[in-house]
Amino acid sequence: MTKATIALGDLAEKGADADMLRNMIHFVAQRMMEMDVETLCGAGYDVKSSERTNSRNGYRERTWDTRVGSLDLKIPKLRTGSYFPGFLEPRRTAEKALAAVIQEAYVQGVSTRSVDELVKAMGMTGISKSQVSRLAGEIDERVNAFLDRPIEGDWPYLWIDATYVKVREGGRIVSAAVIIAVAVNTDGVREVLGIRVGPSEAEPFWTEFLRSLMRRGLRGVRLVISDSHEGIKAAVGKVLKATWQRCRVHFMRNALAYVPKGQRAMVAALLRTVFAHDTEDEARRQWRVVADQLRERFPKLADMMDGAEHEVLAHMGFPKSHRQQIHSTNPLERLNAEVKRRTDVVGIFPNEAAIIRLVGAMLLEQNDEWALQRRYMQLEGLQSLSDNQTAKLSAVIS
């Protein structure tokens, strides 16, 4: 007679019955989720009860990789709130992208860091090229859809900047520029519009990037905020024909380079008096006064100020409520710092596709977080910067 029960260990050793073990684990996991949801709802499936506090709303699929193979689970959804089983670990897109990049570097043997330790810390072993391809393909599909999406509406303010990472190219390790564009639309909402990877920040590179944004629908740009890179300035004038704002923080850094260390605090305080004024005319008058005061002791700084006045004070011609956010690239600098934090983990990327995968996934997550936050910029003054202002018709009394 066959025993009514059998030890799981004995069952695992039966090669022909390996599917049976997988089915049992699948059944137990699915039943555990059903019981959890019943507790959260206060009643069983399709049971009418006065104690019910919530109800189901279908399922979402999730693959669970186990020692006996991959299991396709159906995670119950709730009409109010959310549910995620404790035995599964939520995987954020950027974390999966980071794993894919590290795996790819591991397989190709191009990382200069302790990739083995990173892989083990993530709980991954036995990496194969097929696993890398499957995971990378999943990430690339989402990231490319995000980066190629149509850009709709008017975007009065555009921030652009670049950061550098290391990549292997033709057997050599070279620096690659990762340029990022962030903008605010007439609803005061901030979004990441796109990224591009290239060998340098030359004008043709910036020009092609801005044209790619235009092809996707970018329009209504009134002010572009960046550092004083000549390639950016030329590309902005050629493609967007918008006003260019030189980052005030970068300007201060460049200006103080002409001043001895012991006198930098004094000069910085003098320069800040320019930005304390509320109107554009007052700020420009003070700019010329400060430049003349510094001319005798610091002639190179004064000459720099003579050429940079219109660039640094461009934001003064825009609504006062927006000036704090548009006078510098600080919003983008914080994003770049997070990009560097993630990319430093990898060290050297195996190729440009890996850069796009990781940075794009990180920006996709950041964009989703911004969408859930309140408006980045006050609506006051934004509509007046739009190319398509809503026509106001006077009431007609019949």
For the chain, the three-class secondary structure string (H helix, E strand, C coil) is CCCCCCCHHHHHHCHHHHHHHHHHHHHHHHHHHHHHHHHHHCCCCCCCCCCCCCCEEEEEEEEEEECCEEEEEEEEEECCCCCCCCCCCCCCHHHHHHHHHHHHHHHHCCCCCCHHHHHHHCCCCCCCHHHHHHHHHHHHHHHHHHHCCCCCCCCCEEEEEEEEEEEEECCEEEEEEEEEEEEECCCCCEEEEEEEEECCCCHHHHHHHHHHHHHCCCCCCCEEEECCCHHHHHHHHHHHCCEEEECHHHHHHHHHCCCCHHHHHHHHHHHHCHHHCCCHHHHHHHHHHHHHHHHCCCHHHHHHHHHHHHHHCHHHHCCHHHHHHHCCCHHHHHHHHHHHHHHHHHCEECCHHHHHHHHHHHHHHHHHHHHHCCCCCCCCCCHHHCCCCCCCCCCCCC
Is 313 part of any domain?
yes
User: According to the model, what pLDDT value does residue 338 have?
Assistant: 86
| 174 and 319 within one domain | no
Among the residue ranges 103-117, 334-348, 356-370, the one predicted with the least confidence is: 103-117
Is 86 part of any domain?
no
Number of structural domains in the chain: 3
| 238 and 187 within one domain | yes
Is 265 part of any domain?
yes
Q: Which domain holds residue 37?
A: 8-78
Among the residue ranges 11-20, 152-161, 182-191, 361-370, the one predicted with the least confidence is: 11-20
Is residue 2 over pLDDT 50?
Answer: no
| 373 and 259 within one domain | no
User: According to the model, what pLDDT value does residue 213 have?
Assistant: 96
Please write the tens of the pLDDT for every residue from 236-248.
999 998 999 999 9
Please write the tens of the pLDDT for every residue from 120-146.
554 555 555 566 666 677 778 888 999
* Mean of pLDDT values over 143-155: 94
Is 335 part of any domain?
no
381: left (phi over 0), alpha (psi -120 to 50) or beta: left
Confidence of residue 290 (pLDDT cuts 50, 70, 90): very high
Mean pLDDT of the residues in the chain: 82
| 108 and 229 within one domain | yes
Confidence of residue 80 (pLDDT cuts 50, 70, 90): confident
| 253 and 219 within one domain | no
Is residue 329 over pLDDT 60?
Answer: yes
| 134 and 214 within one domain | yes
265 or 19: which carries more pLDDT confidence? 265
Is 334 part of any domain?
no
Is residue 13 over pLDDT 80?
Answer: no
Which of 312, 327, 342 represents a domain boundary (last residue)?
327
Quote the distance between the C-alpha of residue 174 and its chain's center: 24
Is 397 part of any domain?
no
CB 108 within 8 A of CB 64: no
Q: What percent of the chain has pLDDT above 70?
A: 79
Burial of 249 (0-12, 13-18, 19+ CB in 10 A): middle
Residue 197, strand partner residues: 178
| 256 and 172 within one domain | no
| 191 and 95 within one domain | yes
Is 45 part of any domain?
yes
| 265 and 239 within one domain | no
* Mean of pLDDT values over 172-187: 93
CB 162 within 8 A of CB 354: no
Quote the distance between the C-alpha of residue 117 and its chain's center: 27
| 239 and 357 within one domain | yes
Is residue 205 over pLDDT 50?
Answer: yes
* Mean of pLDDT values over 139-162: 92
Distance CA 100, CA 83 (A): 27
Confidence of residue 105 (pLDDT cuts 50, 70, 90): low
The whole-model pTM stands at: 0.70
Question: 153: closest CA among 391, 375, 386?
Answer: 386
Is residue 392 over pLDDT 60?
Answer: no
| 228 and 129 within one domain | yes
| 375 and 236 within one domain | yes
Is 85 part of any domain?
no
